């Protein structure tokens, strides 16, 4: 279940990325982060009215808020900074490659969660495939080397890893439900984003041109890429090891190929080949290693 939830998260992100791209430059990175978070908090809040939270206490609530503050608040902001500085291909390359590796190391160091050597092989195959697909798709695009952009990418990966390990440590016990964890992590992220917008005097509302309709696509993208994705991510952490979950989520770059194909775009032989290799890596991850359990 954890594996399917992680792959579901990756698919949600792949579809949402295409929808978000349709909003153009109406949202700044911070306002996009704010509105995605606010809409998802309201929706998950409605869910929790009908499905009472489970397993929460003061300590767990604080840790989930901290996890969201670091992983969503700081992490997403750093990733958006990297996007602006070095472009999407390099930013995704740095963040999606390093996040699973940092997660595996942090999980071993702080919660004593190890993955088998076969799973390490699977992680390596998946991440190599993701990197090669990104490079193949963006071969014609060049970006000026900016040290700060790569540092933001590394920082985003570190923050994602911290958030992942904290979430896995809490959800792995099976006592806390995924909806509550997602809700609290999103609130934690807002504790970082809202003061930053207020202090920086950033526009709260998007800059919409006359006749431009961006809210329908944005809300749909938020439902998939934030609300559904973070719920599935929390569900995945309850049933699978943190490093495995983060690696499978990194396949969103590959799933975007399928989204593009559905929309009529052609894939190159190289991207198809590396996508097949990635599937082999996923099979290795799933087939080897003891079940995580609770």
The residues, any chain, with a CB within 8 Å of residue 280's CB and separated by 6 or more, are: 125
The mean predicted confidence, pLDDT, of the chain is: 84
pLDDT for res 294: 42
pLDDT for res 185: 95
Cβ pair 205, 152 in contact under 8 A: no
pLDDT for res 292: 46
The closest of 284, 267, 235, 292 to 7, measured between CA atoms, is 235
Angstrom CA distances, 155 to 61, 85, 190, 257, stand at: 24, 14, 18, 27
pLDDT for res 70: 95
pLDDT for res 42: 96
Specify the higher pLDDT residue, 144 or 170. 170
Confidence of residue 140 (pLDDT cuts 50, 70, 90): very low
Specify the higher pLDDT residue, 88 or 220. 220
Per-residue pLDDT tens over the stretch 243-291: 999 999 988 878 887 887 887 777 788 888 888 888 888 888 777 754 4
**Distance from C-alpha of 154 to C-alpha of 99, rounded to nearest angstrom:** 8
Specify the higher pLDDT residue, 104 or 30. 104
Mean predicted confidence (pLDDT) in 189-198:
90
Tokens of 53: 């939270």
Is the predicted pLDDT of residue 142 greater than 50, yes or no?
A: no
**Distance from C-alpha of 69 to C-alpha of 73, rounded to nearest angstrom:** 5
The residues, any chain, with a CB within 8 Å of residue 189's CB and separated by 6 or more, are: 33, 37, 68, 69, 71, 72, 73, 76
Is the predicted pLDDT of residue 155 greater than 90, yes or no?
A: yes
pLDDT for res 52: 84
Per-residue pLDDT tens over the stretch 1-22: 888 999 999 999 888 877 877 6
pLDDT for res 180: 93
Cβ pair 119, 288 in contact under 8 A: yes
HEC assignment per residue over the chain: CHHHHHHHHHHHHHHHHHHHHCCCCCCCHHHHHHHHHHHHHHHHHHHHHHCCCCCCCHHHHHHHHHHHHHHHHHHHHHHHHHHHHHHHHHHHHHHHHHHHHHHHHHHHHHCCCCCCHHHHHHHHHHHHHHHHHHHHHCCCCCCCCCHHHHHHHHHHHHHHHHHHHHHHHHHCCCCCCHHHHHHHHHHHHHHHHHHHHHHHCCCCCCCCCCCCCCHHHHHHHHHHHHHHHHHHHHHHHHHCCHHHHHHHHCCHHHHHHHHHHHCCCCCCHHHHHHHHHHHHHHHHHHHCCCCCCC
Sign, CA dihedral 29-260-224-280, equals negative
Is the predicted pLDDT of residue 91 greater than 60, yes or no?
A: yes
The closest of 121, 138, 131 to 243, measured between CA atoms, is 121
Per-residue pLDDT tens over the stretch 25-66: 677 778 888 899 999 999 999 999 998 888 889 999 999 999
Confidence of residue 89 (pLDDT cuts 50, 70, 90): low
Which residue in the block uniquely carries the two structure tokens 């295409």? 18
Task: Give the relative orientation of helices 75-110 and 147-171 as an angle to the nearest 10 degrees.
Answer: 50
Percent of the chain with pLDDT over 70: 90
């Amino acid at each position: 279940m954890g594996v399917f939830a992680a792959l579901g998260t990756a698919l949600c992100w792949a579809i949402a990325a295409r929808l978000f791209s349709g909003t153009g430059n109406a949202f700044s990175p911070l306002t996009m982060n704010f509105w995605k978070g606010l809409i998802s908090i309201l929706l998950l809040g409605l869910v929790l009215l009908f499905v009472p939270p489970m397993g929460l206490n003061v300590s767990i609530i604080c840790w989930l808020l901290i996890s969201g503050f670091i992983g969503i608040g700081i992490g997403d902001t750093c990733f958006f900074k990297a996007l602006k500085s070095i472009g999407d291909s390099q930013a995704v390359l740095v963040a999606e490659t390093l996040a699973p590796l940092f997660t595996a190391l942090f999980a071993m160091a702080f919660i004593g969660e190890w993955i088998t050597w076969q799973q390490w092989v699977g992680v390596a195959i998946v991440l190599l495939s993701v990197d090669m697909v990104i490079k193949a798709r963006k071969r014609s695009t060049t970006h000026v080397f900016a040290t700060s952009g790569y540092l933001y990418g590394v920082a985003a990966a570190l923050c994602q890893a911290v958030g992942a390990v904290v979430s896995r440590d809490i959800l792995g016990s099976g006592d806390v439900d995924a909806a509550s964890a997602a809700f609290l992590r999103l609130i934690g992220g807002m504790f970082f984003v809202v003061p930053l917008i207020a202090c920086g005097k950033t526009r709260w509302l998007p800059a919409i041109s006359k006749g431009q309709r961006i809210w329908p696509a944005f809300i749909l993208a938020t439902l998939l890429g934030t609300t559904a994705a973070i719920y599935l991510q929390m569900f995945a952490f309850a049933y699978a090891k943190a490093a495995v979950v983060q690696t499978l989520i990194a396949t969103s770059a590959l799933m975007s190929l399928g989204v593009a194909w559905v929309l009529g775009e052609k894939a190159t032989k190289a991207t198809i080949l590396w996508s097949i290799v990635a599937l082999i890596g996923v099979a290795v991850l799933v087939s080897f290693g003891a079940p995580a359990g609770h």
